[in-house]
Structure 1
Amino acid sequence: MSLSDFEVLSVYEDTYVENESFIVDPSTIVCLPVEINPELSYWIFAGYLLIFLIAIPGNLMVALVIGTNYHSLVPSDIYLFHLALADVFFALTIPFWAISAMKGWVFGNAMCKLISLIQEINFYSSILFLVCISIDRYLAIVRAVKTKKKRQPFCSWLLCIIVWLLGVILSLPVLHNNAFKPLNLTKTVCYEEFDTQTSDHWRFSIRMLRHVLGFLLPLTIMLICYGITVSRLLQTRSFGKQKAMKVIVSVVSGFLFCWMPYHITVMLDTAMRAGLFSYTCQKRYSIDLALLATQSLGLLHSCINPILYAFVGEKFKQNFFKFLVKTGLIKRNVQWKSSRSSSQNSDITSTMM
């Protein structure tokens, strides 16, 4: 299921049927769909707009700084560059959902599919690039000698192409999204729409795909790679390696903070739909509100990474100062003092983070 779908409207599937020969009996509807409170809609709009205003310039800055140092890029820098691009494209879809929260989906069916697809592609791609970074850090720190020849820029660029293609393939199910007006509601929505006889099967399959490939598997790989890496770092007192460990903790914490609540809530929703516990309107509305809140955390992830780079990553700070010197925004002696105060970094901390 696409993050772009307002889960607070998930009861639509229980009340909307396109077949005109089927007449819905209101008395048989378990839970009638509920409009988003107008005041809440304004808060959603403001929150989404704030995320957009942070994510776009922040990630563009990251991509620009990395791009201006293309001659000295290591694999993790290349993955970070593509991660920043994925976050930019992801953030570009946010204004559409902000407007949709207030006025409903007013952009038509074609844009519903396109925006959903763009967001889903970059959702998968950004997470996969985080996995690539975790694997590269493991190779650079734990298996530095054995894998040095394999960690070439060409291989990294090729892997980035594969990640983008995989993101496209995994995102194809969101083409089921359509713009339609549900029963008893005044606003049009952009939401997944399946045949009523197979909706439960398709919804379950798509959610499992998203849970496994969009969260559980990436998280498992990141925890294994970073766990082994941290274990190795703890064996040394090198200042640079301790800095690298702080970056690792920040990246994993940011990922868990933004995405774990959403996936746990969706799992609860799936379990309730599957009848694993009783389905009541009160539980339905509570889960819908929880999904609405946790979706905002998921969107927030697109603007967290630039903040991590700016406040945690030593090499990124140095390259950012170099970029400011090149553009004439600061004097060279200021950049020299900043570089002098930073420790020299080995390949272990050579990532922009």
Structure 2
Amino acid sequence: MSDPGPNTTITPRYDYAAYYDENYSYYSPCNDIDGREFGRVFLPTLYSLVFGLGFLGNGLVVCVLVKHRNQTNLTDICLFNLALSDLLFVLTLPFYAHYSVVSGWTFGDFMCRFISTCNCVGFFSSIFFMVVMTLDRYMVIMHTQKVARYRSLRAGIVLSMIVWLLSLCVSVPDLIFTKVTNGLYGQSCNQALDSSALRLYNILSTNILGLVIPLLVMVVCYSRIIPILVTMRSAKRHRVVKLIISIVAAFFLFWAPYNISIFLRFLQVQGKLSGECNFDAKLKLTITVTETFAYTHCCLNPIIYAFVGQKFMKKALQMLSKWMPWIHLSSTRSFSDSSFKKSSVMSRSSDVTPTIM
């Protein structure tokens, strides 16, 4: 959470308290009181909502997969790690909600580095696991016989370790350069960087690794998968196609506005766009709104990747009925064993192909 000023960089972890401490050399300081007041109300509310929904949804996914770990396959391992990534991400939001309310960081330098790094690792690992699951579906559908023997439990564990390690490597600048600094409105937790190369790294990593490559992989893989699914003799093939389109559309609609806005911010810091106060205020407001909107995508992941599968849904309902016996979950009986055999591709939890094939 940092703002791209002369000593800060653009990252997925924005420092809204530092937003209004900026003083660019190429234009006069602007009055951002209205923006600060808006962020003080808007951010805690939305962060709290995203935290609550994301924690409940992804927590339930983790609990169900842990309970049925003896039936785990590669898809479930990816789904489990996707839920962990989203949990790691949403657990940082209460700190930033408090940060935006008091307009200052009160948790110390260590927590500043730790929370910022966890936020970044959760952000990238969630997207990377979505890419892995997309590639896994592609290989299963397009090269079923060749990849069957490689989709083992060990392969899933090794693949997960690689993704987590890659996410940590991408997040190293947050770990090293994030610190508590003194601003006009109190202490801020942000990256204190003077290097234009590191600022460029942050904008490229966020846009290239966080949007362009994942979206490209999804579009290419699913554009090859959909014609295969359409030709299959399955009553649910149209629902599966709609679900695939929903995955790509949701990812683009939730993340593209945010990535575009921070790229415009980067151009403004480089002096390529106007520094006029009205434009500056609108751009800051756009980043605030689009970032929070993008964060809600982690609440949709359990729905898109887990709960659409009838097998997973029944397991989740059975677990909820044990936790809350006073609630009559009659829907748990509506999922017969025969319906499980027709469960969607997006799940085995999300492994559509073997079922339809």
Change (3 A) 1:334 1:10: closer
Q: Which amino acid aligns with 1:41?
A: R
State the shift of 1:247 in Å.
3.1
State the shift of 1:33 in Å.
6.5
State the shift of 1:289 in Å.
0.8
TM alignment of 1:73-222, pairs within 5 A:
73-103=72-102, 104-175=104-175, 176-182=177-183, 185-195=184-194, 198=195, 200-222=196-218
- State whether structure 2 residue 62 is matched by structure 1 residue 63: yes
State the shift of 1:29 in Å.
5.3
Change (3 A) 1:216 1:8: farther
Tell whether the 8 Å contact from 1:9 to 1:288 is kept in structure 2 after alignment: no
Q: Which amino acid aligns with 1:180?
A: T
State the shift of 1:156 in Å.
1.1
Identity among equivalent positions (%) equals 30
Secondary structure at the counterpart of residue 181 of structure 1: strand
Secondary structure at the counterpart of residue 179 of structure 1: strand
State the shift of 1:132 in Å.
0.7
1:18-71: CA deviation from partner (whole Å, max 9, x where unpaired): xxxxxxxxx975334634433541232111111111111211101111222222
Normalised by the size of structure 1, how large is the TM-score?
0.86
State the shift of 1:315 in Å.
2.7
State the shift of 1:7 in Å.
5.7
- State whether structure 2 residue 218 is matched by structure 1 residue 238: no
* Structure 1 stretches lacking a partner, 5+ long: 16-26
TM alignment of 1:302-321, pairs within 5 A:
302-309=298-305, 312-321=308-317
Q: Which amino acid aligns with 1:181?
A: N
Question: Could you tell me which residue of structure 1 aligns to residue 42 of structure 2?
Answer: 43
Q: 1:279 aligns with which of 275, 289, 304?
A: 275
Change (3 A) 1:255 1:28: closer
State the shift of 1:219 in Å.
1.3
- State whether structure 2 residue 3 is matched by structure 1 residue 6: no
Tell whether the 8 Å contact from 2:17 to 2:100 is kept in structure 1 after alignment: no
Q: Which amino acid aligns with 2:348?
A: T
Change (3 A) 1:325 1:56: closer
Tell whether the 8 Å contact from 2:306 to 2:346 is kept in structure 1 after alignment: no
Normalised by the size of structure 2, how large is the TM-score?
0.85
What's the Cα RMSD here? Answer: 2.7
Change (3 A) 1:275 1:231: farther
Tell whether the 8 Å contact from 1:11 to 1:31 is kept in structure 2 after alignment: no
Change (3 A) 1:325 1:8: closer
- State whether structure 2 residue 39 is matched by structure 1 residue 30: no
CA distance in 2, matches of 1:90, 1:325: 28
Tell whether the 8 Å contact from 1:262 to 1:291 is kept in structure 2 after alignment: yes
Tell whether the 8 Å contact from 1:140 to 1:347 is kept in structure 2 after alignment: no
CA distance in 2, matches of 1:113, 1:260: 27
CA distance in 2, matches of 1:74, 1:253: 27
- State whether structure 2 residue 339 is matched by structure 1 residue 338: no
CA distance in 2, matches of 1:30, 1:213: 34
Tell whether the 8 Å contact from 1:38 to 1:102 is kept in structure 2 after alignment: no
State the shift of 1:337 in Å.
3.4
CA distance in 2, matches of 1:47, 1:325: 29
CA distance in 2, matches of 1:262, 1:8: 19
Tell whether the 8 Å contact from 2:39 to 2:288 is kept in structure 1 after alignment: no
Aligned residues: 337
CA distance in 1, matches of 2:110, 2:97: 18
CA distance in 2, matches of 1:349, 1:177: 38
State the shift of 1:341 in Å.
7.2
- State whether structure 2 residue 349 is matched by structure 1 residue 352: yes
Secondary structure at the counterpart of residue 238 of structure 1: coil
* Structure 2 stretches lacking a partner, 5+ long: 1-9, 351-357
Q: 1:289 aligns with which of 285, 288, 291?
A: 285
CA distance in 1, matches of 2:47, 2:18: 18
State the shift of 1:105 in Å.
1.2
State the shift of 1:4 in Å.
2.2
CA distance in 2, matches of 1:332, 1:136: 33
Tell whether the 8 Å contact from 1:79 to 1:133 is kept in structure 2 after alignment: yes
State the shift of 1:9 in Å.
4.1
